[in-house]
Structure 1
Amino acid sequence: MTWTDLPGDRPFVLLATRAQDGPADEEYALFLRFTGLPPERLRRVRLEREAMPALDLDEVSGILVGGSPFNASDSREKKSAVQLRVEAEMAALLDEVVARDAPFLGACYGVGTLGTHLGATIDGTHAEPISVVEVTLTPEGRVDPLATGLPPSFAAFVGHKEAISSLPSAATLLASSPTCPVQMFRVGRNVYATQFHPELDVDGIVTRIHAYAAFGYFAPDELDLTLTAVRRTPVDAPSRILRTFVERYAR
């Protein structure tokens, strides 16, 4: 299916928070590529630059959230004024999204935002270094519509300082990895979050490794080891989630 075959004309919205233009623009390009959407059907909002606009959920097909250097589990004193604003705006949006069971897919930062909204325990217990990990679908994940076309286990890019260590009963666990028990979950029928990055290819993660080398994801002398780690195993399955999301919810 091509984007011209998709029903309707309502755009999807990508909520982004990356301050660096290089990684931010590449993230948008990757979402365009893997969703198959043209720019006019994927509206990007850079929340680190501007307040979240009023979003009428009846006028959009769905909400996507990209990754972020923000950590939901940091103390309030560690958070910038921008992060606190973004968190408040995301919380207000999720109040409506979850109540209406509106189409939503958050990648990496989506776990922090949606997990916080649900009251999940988010901490550094299951942090994963920037690398490729094996993600395995749960029995519920194998029959979930968003996992259509995915193998039972697949390689995925990760890199996060925090993760959900306790998932509330309101959520359905869809995927795990050996070092991070919550890699993907669903709330209701249409609200999703992944800890891994479905939008990344190897070039995209290499860009982020260089851009965030001083952000504490790895030690200063581990740059080459980190680059080697993400090139070790081919990653091609997770991006199907983005295409399936668009095909399922375009209207």
Structure 2
Amino acid sequence: MGEVLVVQNSRSGGPGRFGGWLEEAGLRLDVVHAYDGAAVPDALRHDAMIMMGGGYLPGEDDRAPWLAPTRSLVAEALERDVPFFGICLGGQMVAEVAGGEVTGDVGAPENGSVPVTLRPEAAGDPLFRDLPGVVPAIEHHVDAITALPPGAVWLAETAACPYQAFRVGSRAWGVQFHPEVLPERIRTWEVNGFDPDEVYARAVADEPVSTPIWREVAARFAQVVLHAGEPYAAAGSAP
């Protein structure tokens, strides 16, 4: 059984249904509640890593001191080709660690279920291949990736926030959206500038479409983890 380190950055920001799907696929989650003072490991001894979202920029060590050791783990995952999946803040962190740029409070905020467009590069990706061309995904952010790392494969976009999904190297993915979130959690968010009832209703309407898609992505990531010791070359990688 593959063991996955999950770094949780807020009380409500756990792995949710995404974590449940990974467990169904045969993985075991080791969730570190970093926001609550739990120590982030000093080295990556797990078979994979997931970095959850949170209300911080990747380098805001003054507000969240666990981010510095977490960045070291992300760098280790990239260096050793350990499977990694970053959600929202986690996606921003892997982008920044790999040489991209993240900017606070930039562009138009996204809240609730948003249509995410898959790019042609997704056709060769182990997680995003053969998905529908447009997929609903739950968003909640004002910060965003403003430049992808060198050599990253750009997988998905929205009009308001171009870098919605990408891959770095063979086995590290970052997404701006929240595949782990069900519509009910939106009720706990501040959606300034949006009608909260409308945001919630849209997410409820889209959930039957989005759930099987993100479940499949989780299952594919689990397979990457379980077979990470085998020779692997991702199609669509940058030269």
Instruction: Tell whether the 8 Å contact from 2:165 to 2:175 is kept in structure 1 after alignment.
Output: yes
> 1:250 — aligned with what?
226
Instruction: Tell whether the 8 Å contact from 1:154 to 1:238 is kept in structure 2 after alignment.
Output: no
Question: Which one has the bigger helix percentage?
Answer: 1
* 109-118 or 173-182, larger mean C-alpha shift: 109-118
> 1:3 — aligned with what?
none
Deviations 1:37-65 (A, max 9, x none): 489811111111212024444xx221112
* 185-194 or 40-49, larger mean C-alpha shift: 40-49
Deviations 1:184-229 (A, max 9, x none): 1111101110111121222xxx32x33333xxx425x843333234
Q: 1:106 pairs with 86, 91, 98, which one?
A: 86
SS in 1 for 2:94: helix
User: How many pairs align?
Assistant: 222
> 1:10 — aligned with what?
2
Taking the aligned partners of 1:228 and 1:132, their CA distance within structure 2 comes to 9
Instruction: Tell whether the 8 Å contact from 1:126 to 1:164 is kept in structure 2 after alignment.
Output: no
Instruction: Tell whether the 8 Å contact from 2:156 to 2:166 is kept in structure 1 after alignment.
Output: yes
> 2:55 — aligned with what?
69
Deviations 1:69-104 (A, max 9, x none): 223376x7xx42xx1x22201221122111112100
Instruction: Tell me the TM-score normalised to structure 2 length.
Output: 0.81
Instruction: Tell whether the 8 Å contact from 2:53 to 2:87 is kept in structure 1 after alignment.
Output: yes
Identical residues among aligned pairs (%): 24
The amino acid of 1:233's aligned partner reads D
Taking the aligned partners of 1:131 and 1:56, their CA distance within structure 2 comes to 33
* 182-191 or 120-129, larger mean C-alpha shift: 120-129
Structure 2 unmatched ranges of 5 or more? 228-239
Post-superposition offset of 1:232 = 4.0
> Would the alpha carbon gap of residues 38 and 145 (structure 1) be closer, same or farther in structure 2, given more than 3 Å must change?
closer
The amino acid of 2:159's aligned partner reads P
* 130-139 or 31-40, larger mean C-alpha shift: 31-40
What's the Cα RMSD here? 2.5
> 2:203 — aligned with what?
230
> 1:30 — aligned with what?
17
Post-superposition offset of 1:160 = 0.6
Taking the aligned partners of 1:73 and 1:47, their CA distance within structure 2 comes to 15
The amino acid of 1:211's aligned partner reads T
The amino acid of 1:47's aligned partner reads A
Structure 1 unmatched ranges of 5 or more? 1-8
The amino acid of 1:15's aligned partner reads V
Taking the aligned partners of 2:16 and 2:180, their CA distance within structure 1 comes to 9
> 1:41 — aligned with what?
28
Pairwise mapping of residues 74-153 of structure 1 onto structure 2 (< 5 A)? 79-80=62-63, 83=64, 85-123=65-103, 124-153=105-134
SS in 1 for 2:206: coil
- Structure with the larger RCO, 1 or 2 (CA within 8 Å, 6+ apart): 1
Taking the aligned partners of 1:96 and 1:223, their CA distance within structure 2 comes to 40
Instruction: Tell whether the 8 Å contact from 1:126 to 1:165 is kept in structure 2 after alignment.
Output: no
Taking the aligned partners of 2:192 and 2:158, their CA distance within structure 1 comes to 20
